[in-house]
Amino acid sequence: MKHILLAFFLTFGFTTQARHYQVVVVGGGTSGVCAAVQSARLGAQTLLIDPTPWLGGMLTAAGVSATDGCYRLPSGMWGDFQAELARHYGSMAALQTGWVSMIQFEPSVGNGIFQRWVSAEPNITYRPQTTWKDLHRTAHGWRLTLVNGTHEEQISADYVIDATELGDVAHAARLPYHVGLDTRSDTGEPWAPVKAQPVVQDITYVMTLAYHDKPRLIPRPEGYDAREFRNCCINSLNDSNLKTKPWTAEMMMSYGRLPNGKYMINWPMWGNDYYLNDVDYTPSQRDSAERKAKEKSLRFLYFMQNELGMRHLGLADEYPTADGLPFFPYYREGRRFTGRVRFTLNDIITPYNRPTPLYRTAVAVGDYPVDQHHNEHPVPDLTLPSIPSWGLPIGVFFPRNDDRLILAEKAISVTNLVNGTSRLQPVVMQIGQVAGTLAAMAVAQKRVPCRLSVRDVQRQLLKTGNYLLPFLDVARGDALFPVLQRIGVTGILQGRGRHHDWANETWLDIDSTIQADDVARLLAFYSRPVPKLWPATPDAEMMHWLFDDIMRARRMPARNRLSALMHTSLEPYGVPYPAGAVSRKVFAIWVDAILNPFCREVDLNGNFVE
């Protein structure tokens, strides 16, 4: 009878019920792999799909195996990835093979790490070489069709995370987005151009090269003209009127030197950057357009072999592709979707002086400069200012028009200028981990992600060693780390950001003395009046009086044990009771342990929820 029914269904086109997943992550790139792993670790049944057989996206499948920034901010899985690389190569020092980055590795090694992460999670179903189509919103989630070769399968999901390179899933869901340069009047950023321009950053078809025992010369590419690369380094073809002298060929090669004698060629100066805005192309149109970027890289390789005499330099045996090149080019930006919060450079540069205190909702960190590649399509009316390090607000993950889709990768709700610092690999890994956290918590709590408690999400991220704000005062494993992170996102203690050379920093200055302004913020936090007369640097006795006043007003039962708490709360950190002025470190410990301000909830804009 069962066989008869099955034959009936097949004959008349009926399909069995779609397989259901709690979380579907579309895209196994830098963000997607972290999203899937985190979602699974928190208990959600998770599907991960990617069109390539590799995991890691721009870090691996696109060949950009040199990371940018966050070297001193090993947040969450980004820190775990660093540790895995150090174990593989023997030490962190072994990763410093080139001068563009302190962390460089072979793309295949990165893929291997991510494959192990995914295979270790029983809650992940991983479908490589799989695409999707026919995305439909349902009453309680999504329905879409998976495509692998000629096989198609319909699935459903409670939540979908868009971890594609260009934001294709959210686009299919018809969510509003931005592409290219925003206007100054739109974002309020004085550094943005006056007029909007549909100009995106250059893409790059990265090459992983190696020196071989015998010459490995490629055929002369069609349309080759040596003048195209004449100023990539010092050589006989340089223009005589260059304002800045090019670097040497050795500097060009050592830029992206990888372990085991390989080279990452991702060279922006008269190299293989290529202008292409194919964000809104169809997949077949993209394939055709991307071939032009690939052809430029091969022309660059021919130039190096024939004009620079690097005849033994050729493509490394790194990727399982027919042409030896990565699976796809390095995309520096895609669609940026309209979110419930939009993060601007103003929020980064003056985080404590904004109408919406978004720093209170921070869930990830970045410290790279605003870096944009417009070598092939210059943008004259654009300024890239210096910035401090920053915390990414939670509201950028939530598209304004849908509560069951979570934005990841480069699709988050930021301005074009902010994308210049948020697009870097360490940040994008954190973005994925946060997206996976949001999805899994939404499943567990039966509550859409944008309605989760901001503080609950931050608590969960602290459990997995994630930074909320980029304080450099103590390392991630220090017992004080979560204390400083919690006190930072309350705003009672504020960080000091600075731009230093190519690095951007933020410090809490925990060994300096507490000041009257810090205490004033504490009292304002608890709606208590500021005393008319008080010392500029309050001591422990003054702190006792202030804490007692707050505890009495809030009817906290531990008030009768305040003196003992002020002593015992310092013991786990090995900090002595202050004899005179109180340091910011002691103040942070006391406020966190005795008054527990982290329990005060905030909304997506950072405003306190009573």
Q: pLDDT tens-digit profile of 430-478?
A: 999 999 999 999 999 999 999 999 999 999 999 999 999 999 999 999 9
365 strand-pairing partners: 391
State the pLDDT at residue 532.
76
d(CA 28, CA 59): 11
pLDDT computed for residue 481 by the predictor: 98
Evaluate whether 22 touches 443 at the Cβ level (below 8 Å): yes
**What's the DSSP call for residue 597?**
G
Of residues 340, 322, 329, the one with CA closest to residue 296:
329
Task: Tell me what pLDDT residue 11 has.
Answer: 39
Q: For residue 141, which of 446, 397, 435 has the smallest C-alpha distance?
A: 446
How many CA atoms are closer than 13 Å to the CA of 570, on its beta-carbon side?
17
Helix (H, G, I), strand (E, B) or coil at 573: helix
pLDDT averaged over every residue in the chain: 95
CA pair distance 16, 6, nearest whole angstrom:
10
Task: Give the pLDDT confidence score for residue 13 in this predicted structure.
Answer: 39
> Residue 150, Cα to own-chain centre: how many angstroms?
34
Contact indicator for 60, 54 with CB cutoff of 8 Å: yes
CA distance 570 to 593: 9
Pure H helices in 139-192:
168-172, 184-187
Q: Which two tokens stand for residue 545?
A: 């009086």
Of 178, 79, 156, nearest to 433 by C-alpha is: 79
Find, among 361, 364, 442, the residue nearest to 405 by Cα: 442
Of the candidates 415, 331, 347, which has an alpha carbon nearest to the alpha carbon of residue 31? 331
Pairing mode, strands 273-274 and 203-204: antiparallel
Regions of the chain where pLDDT drops below 50: 1-2, 4-15
Within 10 Å of residue 242's Cβ, how many Cβ atoms? 10
At residue 12, the pLDDT reads: 39
CA atoms within 13 A on the CB side of 221: 21
Q: Are strands 19-26 and 151-162 parallel, antiparallel or unpaired?
A: parallel
Bridge partners, residue 131, by sequence: 147
Q: Tell me the sheet residues that pair with 19.
A: 155
**110 is written with which tokens?**
């990165």
Q: Which pair of structure tokens corresponds to residue 68?
A: 């940018």
In the chain, the amino acid numbered 89 is: Y
DSSP-derived secondary structure letter, 532: S
Residue 573's identity, in one-letter code, is: Y
Task: Give me the pLDDT at residue 5, please.
Answer: 45
Specify the pLDDT at position 536: 80
Distance CA 566, CA 586 (A): 9
User: By the 8 A CB rule, do 506 and 469 touch?
Assistant: yes
Element spanning 153, H or E = strand 151-162
Give how far the C-alpha of residue 51 lies from the chain's centroid of Cα atoms, to the nearest Å.
Answer: 21
Q: What is the pLDDT of residue 16?
A: 55
